[in-house]
Amino acid sequence: MKHDLAKIPEIIGRYPQQESSLIMVLQDIQKEFNYLPCEALEQTAEALHVPLSKVFSVSTFYNAFSLTKKGDVVVRVCIGTACHIRGARQIQEQLETALKIQAGETTRDEKFTLEVVGCVGACAMAPVVLTNEQYHAQCKVHTVKKLVSKR
Amino acid sequence: MRIESEKQLRDYRKKLIEADKKLVKKIMVCHGPGCLASGAEKISAEFEKQLKKKRIKGVSIESVKKTGCHSFCEKSPLVAIEPAQVLYTRVQIRDVAEIIEKSVKGDDVIERLVYHDPKTDEAIEKYPDIPFYKHQTRIALRNLGKINACDIDDYIRVGGYDAAVKAVLHMTPDEVIDEVKKANLRGRGGGGFPAGRKWESCRKIEADVRYVVCNGDEGDPGAFMDRAIMEGDPHTVLEGMIIAAYAIGAKDGYIYVREEYPLAVINLQKAIEQAEAIGLLGDNIMGTSFSLRIHINRGAGAFVCGESSALMMSVAGHVGEPRAKYIRSVQKGLYDQPTVLNNVETYSNVPMIISNGADWFTSIGAPKNSGTKAFSLVGKVRHTGLIEVPMGTTLRTIIYDIGGGIQKDRQFKAVQTGGPSGGCLAEQHLDLSVDFDTLTAHGSMMGSGGMIVMDERTCMVDVAKYFLSFLVSESCGKCIPCREGLYQLYKLAIAISEGRGKEEDIARMERLSDHVVVGSLCGLGKSGPNPFLSTVANFRDEYLAHIVDHKCSAGVCKELIKFEVITEKCDGCMACISACAVNAITGKKKQPHIINQELCTKCGACVAACNRDAIAVF
């Protein structure tokens, strides 16, 4: 994926140039690049008149932000209570085995990132896995690896 | 058009009802969380595509409504045919043509697609007759499944914005507050604090600027009521906020929606624009001097931001750390101004209270617990879904009558309510009345409405470990008792689940829990030990079995279990062999297979693959 850093000023410009816009700006940057590039943090700090340390603090506090690049496909295993009760941990282990990475890591070819997420609110269809925005309902332990087989 | 009087709204509604009558049939395609996950968008697109080609009298593409959650998620994707009230379950794209032919063009019911009672196999055509729906009373969820989620006209047609017009044009702010106080509407986010009293204290503080905030953070894992409302009936949230803002005198409102709900943000944004376009939001609402702008803030994936003071920090762009509460947020909340913060479901109840009156509201529910409560009924229950019941309904009614009992007729073990701050209730609690006070008195809590049913295959030590691990990763780290105390509890829970625990560990954990409860600043820490405390109170034997006998009877804790093939049941189909990722299973076709214990990683794939229940977990 190519990253056009020239887009950063435009994203920052979408919101009032003040501290309260910080989270929204970072969200839009994260959405655009799939992570927060170093340059973006510096430019955000300057534009919103916020110390870089505070931008860093907010970027590392919230789970939605990532300081490292993610893979093309972000596989998110929901580990909410309903999913946990119906075997989300086994689902997670199957995907870890299939991708040869741990949750939170990205494959070396940068195709897949495996993550766990608190709850995506599709509890009745547990266990749930998302590949990017796509939901996969009622996943089965013995077939879930198919979701990451097209490499 | 701008709506500036009650008459205008009434006339406009009349027109909408007339137009609606022209649609002889409506096809309600559920676009709730469960159905969307099961491909509902493709189903509604297919209906539209096929209807475009066909000419059926009184049916057009307008007949296809993309509604909010119809609530019977277990059977998703759902399609209801109105006004016949026929509900089709597990609808596939290939069924669409048949539905159009038989039930839209004709008046037949396709028996194959309707709900069948699991015990008698009797087909039930109309959804109000299905036990899942029969025991429910809907106030907050009243429009879900009935109207197009993103259409203000549909909302107005069914009575929407009546209450806002009544409050703003015909009531004083004090009268509004009195009505909500009399209704005794308690905070549906889980706190249970009376909303009317909150509004009153906020109004009494002298200030130029006040705020209304809606908590749509719904961080409790296993809960999706607020998601369903925000996505499926966003206008009801706005209407509740308009009434609250008018009552306290706020000009700005914020809805804080969690990051994982992108569709809720889209639908709320659309709803705000629609309401602004007809003068129900924005400057000089309904031609009065009352103005309100509602803004949406997206959360960024932090559980603690569901806590009121942390949420307000996050709205202001800071790290979401809670603050001490000796000054309440009704005095100094968002940007240090008096602020009323209520949850999505609380706001959804407000329009109905204003329209129907406090007496009507208090006639529903239990003493001191008026009205209803929405729950996401999930876990090992047969009929998962979104439900709303009068307060005071028993857990047994919810789990057995509405939920249809436990999956595969297994043994009920526990029900978890209140999210990570709540607790697990056991068999002896099944006849308890579900309300704020009763649940708290028995060591759990109402919480925002997650209700997770557990069966004999759920290990209670594992459940405690699960919640502790969740809380350890979500603790903001401000207070040491929470940050370190919960971590130590988690480590001890791991030791017990792996068979390394000692008997005195239980007492040690109980002692440590006391310290965490006393020493933490916010609700997350104060209630953090609850999942452990309630499981150890109700399931101490299970803890002891792990510690003394090194046994996990539920077959969950990996270090204490092993998988074995039951030779009598195995027909040698080789399904488990191909499912095993580590080649731990051997055997020939049509001959019983064998699991090599040294290689087995206990991943459970073989159990899931086996169609004959021939793999036992000890």
CATH number at residue A80: 3.40.30.10
For residue range B277-304, what is the model confidence (pLDDT) as tens digits? 999 999 999 999 999 999 999 999 899 9
Position B372 scores a pLDDT of: 97
Q: Which residues pair with B79 in a beta bridge?
A: B29, B88
Q: How confident is the model at residue A3 (pLDDT cuts 50, 70, 90)?
A: low
**Residue of B476, B599, B603 to mutate, testing the A interface (most A Cβ within 10 Å of its Cβ):** B603
Do residues A54 and A78 share a domain? no
User: Does residue B237 carry a pLDDT above 70?
Assistant: yes
Q: Is residue A68 part of a domain?
A: no
Q: Please report residues of B whose CB lies closer than 8 A to that of A57.
A: 319
User: Chain B contact for A52, CB < 8 A?
Assistant: no
Do residues A135 and A105 share a domain? yes
CA distance B74 to chain A (A): 6
User: Does residue A1 carry a pLDDT above 80?
Assistant: no
For residue range B103-126, what is the model confidence (pLDDT) as tens digits? 999 999 999 999 999 889 999 999
User: What is the SS3 assignment for B147?
Assistant: coil
* Residue that terminates a domain, selected from A61, A83, A102: A61
What is the residue-averaged pLDDT of chain B? 95
Q: What percent of chain B has pLDDT over 90?
A: 92
Cβ atoms B29, B65 nearer than 8 A: yes
CA distance A54 to chain B (A): 8
- Whether the ω angle into residue B77 lies within 30 degrees of 0, i.e. cis, is yes
- The answer to whether the CB atoms of B603 and A126 lie below 8 A apart is no
Separation of first and last alpha carbons in chain A: 16
User: Does residue A151 carry a pLDDT above 60?
Assistant: no
CA B251 to chain centre: 29
Q: How confident is the model at residue A101 (pLDDT cuts 50, 70, 90)?
A: very high
Q: Please report residues of A whose CB lies closer than 8 A to that of B451.
A: none
Q: How confident is the model at residue A133 (pLDDT cuts 50, 70, 90)?
A: confident
CATH no. of B562-617: 3.30.70.20
Do residues A79 and A120 share a domain? yes
Position B185 scores a pLDDT of: 97
Query: Dihedral (C-alpha) B175, B178, B180, B183: value to the nearest 10 degrees?
Result: -130
Do residues A96 and A144 share a domain? yes
Domain B366-455 belongs to what topology?
Ubiquitin-like (UB roll) (3.10.20)
Quote the CA–CA distance of B468 and B552 in Å, as a whole number.
Answer: 19
Q: How many domains does chain A have?
A: 2
> A144-150 — which CB contacts under 8 Å span 24+ positions?
A144/A91, A144/A94, A144/A95, A145/A94, A145/A95, A145/A97, A145/A98, A145/B581, A147/A75, A147/A95, A148/A73, A148/A75, A148/A95, A148/A98, A148/A99, A148/A112, A149/A98
**Of B34, B320, B604, Cβ closest to residue A122:** B34
- The answer to whether the CB atoms of A121 and B33 lie below 8 A apart is yes
| ipTM over cut 0.90 | yes
**Of B38, B463, B604, Cβ closest to residue A141:** B604
Yes or no: domain B460-547 corresponds to CATH 3.30.930.10 = no
Q: Is residue A11 part of a domain?
A: yes
Q: Please report residues of A whose CB lies closer than 8 A to that of B609.
A: 141-142
Cβ atoms B428, B323 nearer than 8 A: no
User: Does residue A150 carry a pLDDT above 80?
Assistant: no
Position B581 scores a pLDDT of: 86
Q: How confident is the model at residue B317 (pLDDT cuts 50, 70, 90)?
A: very high
Do residues A85 and A144 share a domain? yes
For residue B454, which of B380, B538, B375, B395 has the smallest C-alpha distance? B380
Q: Is residue A66 part of a domain?
A: no
- Tokens 């429009």 correspond to B143
Do residues A55 and A79 share a domain? no
Do residues A86 and A45 share a domain? no
Quote the CA–CA distance of B231 and B228 in Å, as a whole number.
Answer: 5
Do residues A24 and A48 share a domain? yes
What is the per-residue burial (b if ≥16 Cβ within 10 Å, else e) of B350-386?
bbbbbbeebeebbeebbeebbbbbbbbbbbbbbbbbb
CA B446 to chain centre: 12
Do residues A81 and A135 share a domain? yes
CATH superfamily of B6-129: Glutaredoxin (3.40.30.10)
**Of B316, B320, B454, Cβ closest to residue A20:** B316
**Of A24, A27, A117, Cβ closest to residue B260:** A117
Position B198 scores a pLDDT of: 97
Largest interatomic CA distance in chain B: 82
For the record, the structure tokens of A83 come out as 């999913």
Residue range(s) in chain B whose domain bears CATH number 3.10.20.600: 366-455
For residue range A33-74, what is the model confidence (pLDDT) as tens digits? 989 999 999 999 999 999 999 999 999 999 999 999 999 999
- The answer to whether the CB atoms of A90 and B298 lie below 8 A apart is no
* Residue that terminates a domain, selected from A61, A81, A100: A61
Query: What's the CATH class of domain B172-361?
Result: alpha beta
User: Does residue B142 carry a pLDDT above 90?
Assistant: yes
Q: Please report residues of B whose CB lies closer than 8 A to that of A120.
A: 260
Cβ atoms B185, B370 nearer than 8 A: yes
Do residues A9 and A36 share a domain? yes
Q: Exposed, middle or buried, B151 (CB in 10 Å: 0-12/13-18/19+)?
A: middle
The residue range of the domain holding A115 is 73-148
Residue range(s) in chain B whose domain bears CATH number 1.20.1440.230: 460-547
For residue range B416-447, what is the model confidence (pLDDT) as tens digits? 999 998 999 999 999 999 999 999 999 889 98
Largest interatomic CA distance in chain A: 52
Position B443 scores a pLDDT of: 87
Residue range(s) in chain B whose domain bears CATH number 3.40.30.10: 6-129
Q: Tally C-beta pairs within 8 A across A and B.
A: 172
User: Chain B contact for A47, CB < 8 A?
Assistant: no
Q: Exposed, middle or buried, A96 (CB in 10 Å: 0-12/13-18/19+)?
A: middle
**Residue of A19, A27, A123 to mutate, testing the B interface (most B Cβ within 10 Å of its Cβ):** A123
Q: Which residue of B has its CA nearest to A27?
A: B300
